[in-house]
Structure 1
Amino acid sequence: MSNGSRPLGFAVVTLAYVAAALIALVSVVTMAGRHPLLLTLLADVAATLLIFAASMAAANASLYDPFWSVAPAVIVLVWALALGAGGARPVLVLLLVLAWSIRLTANWARSWQGLHHEDWRYEQLRAERPGGAPWWLVNLVGIQLVPTLVVFGGLLAVWPAVTVPGRGLGVLDVLAVLVTVAAIVLETTADRQLHRFAADPGNRGRIIDEGLWRYSRHPNYLGEITFWWGMWLFGLAAAPSWWWTVIGPIGMVLLFVFVSVPMMDRRSLSRRPDYAVHMRRVPALLPRPRPTTGGAHRT
């Protein structure tokens, strides 16, 4: 199966996600009566376990990758339609989540080549296996369950934003819209600039140092983090007593700062000797002023 065509790979992914949705639905039905948030978490984990099983059967952990953007959109859609508080806020949140989800999922689909193509980070984890742990455990916990729980933490703020009634739109909602839209635009622009740079044969062996990438080594990650802060602002506007859901965006910051950014930087250092100089010149996430000269640096 790992040598199959790209259409076959997407067919397998589609079937796996349909099965995951059915497992999630069965979980909700069989455990009806519990708090909707707990039901959502249990269904989310059940769906993750199904995708984990499919990834092991296909010998490709990247089957989980679209889960990051697909599951939140489904969850928020169900919350808004079944439990929505009414008014403009749930509609705004749902539209923004769908825009984020479609863009991020399309970006994954654009780059994934099929069942023979596994994210380099998973290949690295498969080879290194921290502590000598079996691959199935690394895949289940490190690649799938932990991200599922981190994203669910981010969604905690969305719950009051779409289900708690009584507070009309205010200044905080305006700020939430601005932050979330800016995050989506930032991610979209960063990805387009990176794809355009990588598609140019003249940039082979070079470090991208133009556009947004001139001011941040990982502007796409910065956009992703900012999106979840925007979601938290919506939750805060709807129900200030839910301020504690700030653990969601904080968890995102920790995931990217201590896992994603270091892994990407280590890979770039191993492939591009001049990347160490680039790291000293360009901050990892938050931009700072730089001289006007720039471009792409040959390695």
Structure 2
Amino acid sequence: MMFALWCVSIRIKDVSIVDIFWGFGFVLVALNTCLLSSGWRYERSQWLLSLTILWGVRLSAYLAWRNHGRPEDDRYQAMRSRRGNRFVVTSLYIVFGLQGAIMWVVSLPLQVGQGHAPLTLMHSANYLGVAIFFVGWCFESIGDYQLARFKSHPDNRGKVFDQGLWRYTRHPNYFGDFLVWWGLFILSVGRWQDLWLIISPILMSFLLIRVSGVALLDRMLKDRSPEHENYMRRTSAFIPWPPQQP
């Protein structure tokens, strides 16, 4: 899939397409694993596939809607500028190849959990994983909706949104994504031998907090305006928490 997306990106001169298909890529992995393992007959596999579709389709649809008509993401424009004509080729491995590798590691609970579904029955901890997933999915979905609605009003251009979930965390969507993948991990574990799958939510948590999520956006917003600085000072960066008093 990543090679096909790379070919499309060359034609449209926009590698941001890789972000739009991030969620849908996991759907393809989960669906392919389910079909190859005949997991559709088992409850754990049914849950893993259904929840992945719910998360992945919503995320990809939202990003496609949000990015429609926009130029290439600033991150990729900067990379394109630094690398010049070489970017067309190097983007295959520094953008598409890297995301493909990360997707493979993060999706391990979907692959192994469905593959082992015939060996184990669902237990109470697995249902806890389902509950954690839904809390995270709601956090992510509601956070995206609240911010999109705020930005849809021209009068709010350049202003800070600090209402709803955004009053308690600067990144409710990333916190929600964090819970989604911890929930899927817990759901996927049917045996003690499967605990090694924890590398998936750990990697996703690291990316969300330290690499492409919280840390990146906070660096971009830090010096934007005094209003943004005040918002960052009083609002929790990640875990929802009541805002500090001025």
TM-score (structure 2 length as normaliser): 0.89
Q: 1:196 aligned to 149, 170, 178, which one?
A: 149
Q: 1:124 aligned to 43, 61, 78, which one?
A: 78
Greater Rg by CA: 1
Between the aligned partners of 1:138 and 1:276, the Cα distance in structure 2 is 36
Q: For structure 1, which runs of at least 5 residues remain unmatched after alignment? A: 1-46, 294-299
Between the aligned partners of 1:105 and 1:67, the Cα distance in structure 2 is 6
SS at match of 1:90: helix
Kindly indicate whether the alpha-carbon contact (under 8 Å) linking 1:207 and 1:275 is maintained by their aligned counterparts in 2: yes
Shift of 1:135: 2.5
Q: For structure 2, which runs of at least 5 residues remain unmatched after alignment? A: none
Shift of 1:128: 4.9
Between the aligned partners of 1:140 and 1:277, the Cα distance in structure 2 is 40
* Corresponding residue number in structure 2 for 1:102: 57
Kindly indicate whether the alpha-carbon contact (under 8 Å) linking 1:217 and 1:284 is maintained by their aligned counterparts in 2: yes
Percentage identity across paired residues of the two chains: 30
Shift of 1:258: 2.0
Q: 1:92 aligned to 30, 37, 47, which one?
A: 47
Kindly indicate whether the alpha-carbon contact (under 8 Å) linking 1:161 and 1:235 is maintained by their aligned counterparts in 2: yes
* Corresponding residue number in structure 2 for 1:208: 161
Alignment RMSD: 2.2
Q: Give 1:50-69 correspondences, 5 Å limit.
A: 50-69=4-23
Shift of 1:292: 8.1
SS at match of 2:92: helix
Aligned residue pairs: how many?
243
SS at match of 1:243: helix
Shift of 1:196: 0.9
Kindly indicate whether the alpha-carbon contact (under 8 Å) linking 1:80 and 1:162 is maintained by their aligned counterparts in 2: yes
Q: Give 1:37-76 correspondences, 5 Å limit.
A: 47-76=1-30
Between the aligned partners of 1:189 and 1:70, the Cα distance in structure 2 is 20
Matching of residue 162 in structure 1 with residue 133 in structure 2:
no
What amino acid maps onto 1:107 in structure 2?
Answer: Y
Kindly indicate whether the alpha-carbon contact (under 8 Å) linking 1:160 and 1:235 is maintained by their aligned counterparts in 2: yes
Matching of residue 242 in structure 1 with residue 185 in structure 2:
no
TM-score (structure 1 length as normaliser): 0.74
Distance 1:292 1:212, change over 3 A: farther
* Corresponding residue number in structure 1 for 2:219: 266
Between the aligned partners of 1:127 and 1:226, the Cα distance in structure 2 is 36
Q: 1:220 aligned to 170, 173, 178, which one?
A: 173
* Corresponding residue number in structure 2 for 1:23: none
Shift of 1:100: 0.6
Distance 1:211 1:133, change over 3 A: farther
Between the aligned partners of 2:74 and 2:47, the Cα distance in structure 1 is 36
Distance 1:193 1:138, change over 3 A: farther
What amino acid maps onto 2:26 in structure 1?
Answer: P
* Corresponding residue number in structure 2 for 1:149: 101
Cα deviations across residues 231-257 of structure 1 (Å, max 9, x unaligned)?
A: 111221x23212111111111111122
Between the aligned partners of 1:138 and 1:219, the Cα distance in structure 2 is 33
Shift of 1:221: 1.1
What amino acid maps onto 1:247 in structure 2?
Answer: I
Kindly indicate whether the alpha-carbon contact (under 8 Å) linking 2:133 and 2:183 is maintained by their aligned counterparts in 1: yes
